[in-house]
Chains A and B, each alone.
Chain A
């Protein structure tokens, strides 16, 4: 029996997972992102964004530990004292754990992420670099994906400038997040705001689509900081030169995301494959990044390719030692090697130094 929301992989899935991970790590490395390794155990911090959902353990001293539930926070915490000035690029890969209630398709309690962080750079070019890497990652995986970009800081600035109380801001944000126009209208009727703000808030949920929504947004009576965020996004997209979907009503964790937030979807799979954004000031002065859910990618790539047979069937240890240096070889155990090779589709037999084609 294994605990709910955990998984074990058999061939060929386990191999496929390792290959996918390697492909992403190589890609990130070629773009200057150096691997870091982080502990799976950390001191429990009630202020951690996932504190409530983390697995907890008791240390021998009686202190509470948590199993790693997110890389970004941990990486920032551990590296903060060691970072000098300038630009740093890091990549990470490994398991994460969440004590989540529902474990469902693609929503595991033990899962693997591969991701990267760009630290010490901000602005449109830095955002475009991170987005470019997200596109490249999807390409490297051979997945046709759509990248959706939102601007939580825009919603945040509009809300902050609205004059609404903090609790009303939260409720309004929730209604925008769900694109729940009727509830949004009702909330604004209960908590009156200036007509210009009302008009903007009611427009936000429907500002999704292609580049034209930027134009639409620019016609709204936005506060100056929101306008700046919008023009930074426009500049980012100009630099990126890739087609993205926009959703300016994306209002997720706007107090954390200081600029863009993005995720990638692939048709026919119901959950995002990757997610990331910019969080200047939240953990480090300037940082952006994203992470891919490896199990989700595996799920989205289904069905896994057929496991290919080895090239050579070795009849003795000597042949195994000799040929495994350059090819995939399997040692034969049994009675009839020719029948076995034929049944598995193995093209060559080998004995000692000798190798021949299966008759």
Chain B
């Protein structure tokens, strides 16, 4: 196993590029992403970059494999991991919404989602007696096909929803990309991380 000065976990997909640039602008010497098929970038003794599924970012950071990471608040709301969350990076804005078929107003008995913990909390808070079905992709299909009476899913522009003929009934939470930091790494590597956090906060100021 190689030793790195700092290991950064970033989610593949829409957040990756913006997160990479934000960290670079803040002065973190990130390795170049040369080999698109590699999952771990970086040289021994330098900064390493891990490309992960977004749900895995909090896991890697909580267990200390990566010291810092960037991930959407939507994922953090579901993860239940005890992480530091010092900076709202502002990009990757989306919302978690309750989505149904138009005209559906009956009680919700089954709800499909990629966010089972967040959804279970919501049901508990509202006193709804419904089953949560965890799916991994194309969640809106669950509402279209009648697999569920409603879905809780991430919405960016709403175009996908409209195309599927569904309606956004309620916005449950707003999300943007956050910097997350492992609890002990923040202290042990504070010489590196405290200034990084300060610069990211300055840059993230609207």
Chain B nearest CB, measured from A176 CB (Å): 11
In the complex, what residue of chain B is closest to A210 when comparing beta carbons? Answer: B190
CB within 8 Å for A270 and B184 given contacts A179-B86, A182-B87: yes
In the complex, what residue of chain A is closest to B81 when comparing beta carbons? Answer: A102
Q: Are B187 and A146 in contact (CB under 8 A)?
A: yes
Q: A148-B187, A179-B86, A183-B88 are in contact. List 16 more A-B contacts (CB 8 A).
A: A178-B82, A178-B85, A179-B85, A179-B181, A180-B86, A181-B87, A208-B187, A245-B187, A265-B184, A265-B187, A267-B188, A269-B64, A270-B65, A270-B182, A271-B63, A272-B184
Q: Quick one: CB contact mask for A171-206 with B, threshold 8 Å, 1 for yes?
A: 000000011111100000000000000000000011
Q: Quick one: CB contact mask for B188-204 with A, threshold 8 Å, 1 for yes?
A: 10100010000001000
Q: Are A104 and B63 in contact (CB under 8 A)?
A: yes
B130 within 8 A of A: no
Secondary structure at chain B's binding surface: helix, strand, loop or mixed? mixed
Q: Are A180 and B85 in contact (CB under 8 A)?
A: yes
Give the distance in Å from the alpha carbon of A181 to the alpha carbon of B87 in the complex: 7
A105 within 8 A of B: yes
Give the distance in Å from the alpha carbon of A272 to the alpha carbon of B183 in the complex: 9
CB within 8 Å for A247 and B184 given contacts A178-B83, A181-B201: no
Contacts of B184 in A (CB 8 A): 148, 265, 270-272
B186 within 8 A of A: yes
In the complex, what residue of chain A is closest to B63 when comparing beta carbons? Answer: A270
Give the distance in Å from the alpha carbon of A205 to the alpha carbon of B186 in the complex: 12
B84 within 8 A of A: yes
Q: Quick one: CB contact mask for A264-281 with B, threshold 8 Å, 1 for yes?
A: 010101111000000000
Give the distance in Å from the alpha carbon of A314 to the alpha carbon of B27 in the complex: 66
Contacts of B63 in A (CB 8 A): 104-105, 270-271
Which interface class (under 10, 10 to 19, 20 to 34, 35 or more) fits A? 20 to 34
Which of A179, A181, A247, A267 is most buried by chain B, counting CB atoms within 10 A of its CB?
Answer: A179
Chain A nearest CB, measured from B88 CB (Å): 4
Give the distance in Å from the alpha carbon of A206 to the alpha carbon of B181 in the complex: 13
In the complex, what residue of chain B is closest to A148 when comparing beta carbons? Answer: B187
In the complex, what residue of chain A is closest to B76 when comparing beta carbons? Answer: A178
Give the distance in Å from the alpha carbon of A271 to the alpha carbon of B83 in the complex: 12
A-B contacts, 18 of them at CB < 8 A, read A105-B63, A146-B187, A146-B188, A178-B82, A178-B85, A179-B85, A179-B181, A180-B84, A182-B88, A183-B85, A208-B186, A208-B187, A265-B184, A265-B187, A265-B188, A270-B184, A271-B63, A271-B64
Contacts of A352 in B (CB 8 A): none
Contacts of B186 in A (CB 8 A): 179, 208
In the complex, what residue of chain B is closest to A208 when comparing beta carbons? Answer: B187
Contacts of A309 in B (CB 8 A): none
Contacts of A270 in B (CB 8 A): 62-65, 182, 184
Give the distance in Å from the alpha carbon of A182 to the alpha carbon of B62 in the complex: 21
Contacts of A265 in B (CB 8 A): 184, 187-188
Chain A nearest CB, measured from B56 CB (Å): 13
Chain A nearest CB, measured from B96 CB (Å): 16
Q: Are B64 and A178 in contact (CB under 8 A)?
A: no
Contacts of A180 in B (CB 8 A): 84-86
Contacts of B82 in A (CB 8 A): 178
Q: Are A205 and B188 in contact (CB under 8 A)?
A: no
Contacts of A181 in B (CB 8 A): 86-87, 201
Give the distance in Å from the alpha carbon of A267 to the alpha carbon of B67 in the complex: 12
Give the distance in Å from the alpha carbon of A272 to the alpha carbon of B194 in the complex: 20
Contacts of A148 in B (CB 8 A): 184, 187
Give the distance in Å from the alpha carbon of A208 to the alpha carbon of B62 in the complex: 19
CB within 8 Å for A178 and B84 given contacts A270-B63, A271-B64: yes
Q: Are A208 and B190 in contact (CB under 8 A)?
A: yes
Give the distance in Å from the alpha carbon of A208 to the alpha carbon of B86 in the complex: 13
Chain A nearest CB, measured from B84 CB (Å): 4
Chain A nearest CB, measured from B187 CB (Å): 5
